């Protein structure tokens, strides 16, 4: 599901090629690029994983068609360790074949004793286990490598090649495109993470949990919709659990927590993994940042290489603030955010509430443009899955924090 109101606009002028991505998870290959610039291609068998020897177990997690959070939950269950003992540098796409570095605390002795083994499951595999001195934290990566097959393109191959070359040329001349947050930030099927964050900023944890469990979207299965509707309309935890599909693990964890604590919403929220707790307010900040980028580009300046009043520049990269308790807004930036917040329920002061700061609402600065590197058209050919249509296979690299789907929107339109 694409919720265009959540996203920034495409800014290239060349006509898009159309088509679809992720018809198969193997059509979307993502390989983390480590801080040592090692590309972790999920099709490889072994990896170097540079670093000094220590007490953390490091390895490469290869996953196929499973959410990062769900994959880490499986590791936690299989190895019987707290979820917060697992560290990653960033999340990867769900419907994709991906590889990323992972660190784990608390299994060294069992690894030494041969009681912890490499996993080779249908959706998750581990490779190149080793001991390293440092824990992985969010942001501990250079970026990601992508190899993507765009299918179901209603054009002949020469036209596809021509439009792709023109789009690539446009992006090169402009020096990049808008560095907006992609659909994954808000939810592909259920774009609600920012709305959960909105309720948390307002201090209403009960409403936030109700939003997460109960809000329905027609793109979900009928069983999921029915169980969510039960909770939304009645708040009946047991009946919701009886109908809720087993794969909705986070929802089940929340509901069972509410049962156990007699509806202590705050305690249940803080029982979630720390990274997940912070996801929601970060998603709302991302929602506001996308609105900021859109308004800046449409009403203030189309030049992404020169800062407007209130932005900053470092190493020829322009950064704009993501609103938060530690961010002081000035100039045109303050003016833009004031216009945005005028239409929202949240105010700037809500980011300074204790709960908001605890859940990561301090704010930061983010580059306003992304520039794909090593951009390459690998091939075009007839699409074996869609009769009479074509495919285009492209590869590229993006620095951390940038979304491949946002670049692909420029290509496909």
- In-domain check, residue 181: no
In tens, the pLDDT along 352-381 reads 999 999 999 999 999 999 999 999 999 999
CATH code, domain with 224: 1.10.1510.30
Examine the pLDDT at 56 and tell me if it is beyond 60.
Answer: yes
Q: What is the pLDDT at residue 5?
A: 87
- List Cβ neighbours of 352 (8 Å cut-off, separation of 6 or more): 325
By DSSP bridging, strand 97-104 and strand 177-178 are unpaired
Is residue 44 over pLDDT 90? yes
Average pLDDT over every residue of 205-221? 97
Q: pTM of the prediction?
A: 0.92
Q: Indicate whether 244 and 335 sit together in one domain.
A: no
Helix (H, G, I), strand (E, B) or coil at 270: coil
Instruction: For strands 86-88 and 390-399, give the pairing.
Output: unpaired
User: Could you tell me if 213 and 80 lie in one domain?
Assistant: no
- Strand order across the 317-322 sheet: 312-314, 317-322, 364-367
pLDDT of 115 reads: 92
pLDDT exceeds cutoff 90 at 144: yes
Q: Which residue among 349, 369, 389 closes a domain? A: 369
152 and 16, same domain (yes or no): yes
- The mean pLDDT of 257-261, rounded to a whole number, is 97
What pLDDT is attached to residue 71?
A: 96
Residues 389 and 357 occupy one common structural domain: no
The Cα–Cα gap between 334 and 309 comes to: 9
Give pLDDT, residue 366.
98
Asked whether residue 286 is domain-assigned, the answer is: yes
Residue 173 domain-assigned? no
User: Is residue 125 scored above 60 in pLDDT?
Assistant: yes
Mean pLDDT of the chain: 96
Torsion of CA 309, 314, 317, 323, to 10 degrees: -50
- The answer to the question of residue 183 being in a domain is no
Model confidence at 3, in pLDDT bands (50, 70, 90)?
low
Q: Taking 80 as the threshold, does the pLDDT of residue 50 lie above it? A: yes
Q: How far apart are CA 304 and CA 293, in angstroms?
A: 10
Whether residue 187 lies inside any domain: the answer is no
Instruction: Classify 175 as helix, strand or coil.
Output: coil
Nearest-angstrom CA–CA distance, 160 and 390: 9
Query: Does residue 27 fall inside a structural domain?
Result: no
- Total domains present in the chain: 4
Dist. CA 210–CA 232, nearest whole Å: 7
54, 133 contact by CB (below 8 A): yes
17 and 150 both lie in a single domain:
yes
In this structure, the answer to whether residues 17 and 51 fall within a common structural domain is: no
Segment 193-204 mean pLDDT: 98
| pLDDT(405) > 60 | yes
Question: Which residue has tokens 């990269």?
Answer: 317
Residue 161, H or E segment = helix 157-174
Split at pLDDT 50, 70, 90, the class of 1 is very low
Of 194, 193, 85, 184, whose CA–CA distance to 144 is shortest?
184
- pLDDT computed for residue 384 by the predictor: 97
* Beta-carbon count within 10 A of 225 CB: 14
Whether residue 136 sits in one domain with residue 39: yes
379 in the same domain as 355: no
Residue 45 counted as domain residue: yes
pLDDT average, residue stretch 96-112: 97
Quick one: pLDDT at residue 126?
A: 98
Burial of 388 (0-12, 13-18, 19+ CB in 10 A): exposed
The answer to whether the beta carbons of residues 6 and 113 sit under 8 Å apart is no
Is residue 2 predicted with pLDDT exceeding 80?
no
State whether 68 and 124 are in the same domain: yes
Average pLDDT over residues 151-161: 98
Q: Are residues 77 and 136 in the same domain?
A: yes
Residue 291 lies inside a defined structural domain of this protein? yes
Active site residues: 93
Q: Do residues 181 and 63 make contact, with C-beta atoms less than 8 angstroms apart?
A: no
404 and 384 both lie in a single domain:
yes
Contact 170, 14 (CB under 8 A): yes
pLDDT at 407: 98
- Could you give the CA distance from residue 2 to residue 188 in angstroms, rounded to a whole number? 7
Query: 264-316: per-residue pLDDT in tens?
Result: 999 999 999 888 999 999 999 999 999 999 999 999 999 999 999 999 999 99
Residues 14, 163 within the same domain: yes
Domain range for residue 318? Answer: 280-369
């Amino acid at each position: 599901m694409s919720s265009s109101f959540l996203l920034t606009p495409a800014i290239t002028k060349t006509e898009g090629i159309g088509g679809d991505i992720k018809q198969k998870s193997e059509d979307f290959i993502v390989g983390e690029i480590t801080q040592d610039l090692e590309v972790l291609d999920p099709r490889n068998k072994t990896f170097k994983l540079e670093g000094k020897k220590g007490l953390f177990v490091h390895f490469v997690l290869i996953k196929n068609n499973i959410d990062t959070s769900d994959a880490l939950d499986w590791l936690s269950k299989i190895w019987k360790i707290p979820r917060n003992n697992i560290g990653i540098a960033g999340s990867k796409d769900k419907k994709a074949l991906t590889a990323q570095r992972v660190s784990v605390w608390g299994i060294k002795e069992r690894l030494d004793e041969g009681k912890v083994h490499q996993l080779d499951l249908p959706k998750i595999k581990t490779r190149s286990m080793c001991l390293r001195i440092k824990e992985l934290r969010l942001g501990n990566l250079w970026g990601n490598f992508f190899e993507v097959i765009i299918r179901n393109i209603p054009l002949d191959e020469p036209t596809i090649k021509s439009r792709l070359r023109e789009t690539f040329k446009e992006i090169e001349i402009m020096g990049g495109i808008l560095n907006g947050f992609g659909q994954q930030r808000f939810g592909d099927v259920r774009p609600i993470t920012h709305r959960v964050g909105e309720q948390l900023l307002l201090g209403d944890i009960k409403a936030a949990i109700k939003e997460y469990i109960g809000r329905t979207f027609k793109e979900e299965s009928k069983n999921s919709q029915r169980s969510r509707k039960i909770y939304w309309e009645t708040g009946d935890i047991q009946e919701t659990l009886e109908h809720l599909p087993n794969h909705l693990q986070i929802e089940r964890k929340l509901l069972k927590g509410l049962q156990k604590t007699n509806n202590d919403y705050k305690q249940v929220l803080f029982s979630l993994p720390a990274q997940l707790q912070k996801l929601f307010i970060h998603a709302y900040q991302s929602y506001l940042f996308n609105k900021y980028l859109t308004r800046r580009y449409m009403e203030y300046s189309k030049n992404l290489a020169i800062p407007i009043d209130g932005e900053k520049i470092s190493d020829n990269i322009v950064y704009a603030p993501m609103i938060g308790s530690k961010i002081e807004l000035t100039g045109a930036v303050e003016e833009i955010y004031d216009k945005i917040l005028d239409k929202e329920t949240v105010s700037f002061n809500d980011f300074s509430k204790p709960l908001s700061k605890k859940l990561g609402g301090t704010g930061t600065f983010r580059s306003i443009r992304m520039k794909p590197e090593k951009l390459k058209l690998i091939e075009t050919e007839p699409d074996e899955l869609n009769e009479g249509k074509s495919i285009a296979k492209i590869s590229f690299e993006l620095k951390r924090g940038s979304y491949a789907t946002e670049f692909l929107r420029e290509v496909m339109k």
